[in-house]
Amino acid sequence: MKKIEHIGIAVKDLEISNDLFAKLFGEPHYKVESVESEGVNTSFFQVGPNKIELLEASNPDSPIAKFLEKRGEGIHHIAYDVADIHAEMKRLEAEGFTLLNTEPKKGADNKLVCFLHPKTTNGVLIELCQEIG
């Protein structure tokens, strides 16, 4: 793993949260994107060298909708930048971590992504990210 790529925060209303975080960070979000396969709308903020991703459910059956229903708004995941997502998935699985998907998926912000089950990471949802292209 090279670095923390971003921290994902689940929110009920993306528009309201974009305003709130723009005030907090002193700058507006730089990107809004929908990921239909995950049932989520996202926006990204750049805060110095770090990124924050806000996640809003776009349908009631999405993982984010279920997270919000169970836990409410707050930190959803920590994403790590990796050079080779396939190799990292293989390595982590061999180390005993449970992957939530067997192949990387197309995620937001031009990334291939894979999640690790929080039951194997002390309750923290971990996302692996590799830049596409």
Rounded CA-CA distance 99/114 in Å is 7
Paired tokens of 129: 């990210």
**pLDDT averaged over every residue in the chain:** 96
- Bridge partners of 103, per DSSP, are none
Rounded CA-CA distance 44/108 in Å is 10
Q: Where does the pLDDT of residue 74 fall: very low under 50, low under 70, confident under 90, or very high at 90 and above?
A: very high
Contact by Cβ (8 Å): 12, 36: no
For the entire predicted model, the pTM comes to 0.92
Residue 133 in this model has a pLDDT that exceeds 90 = no
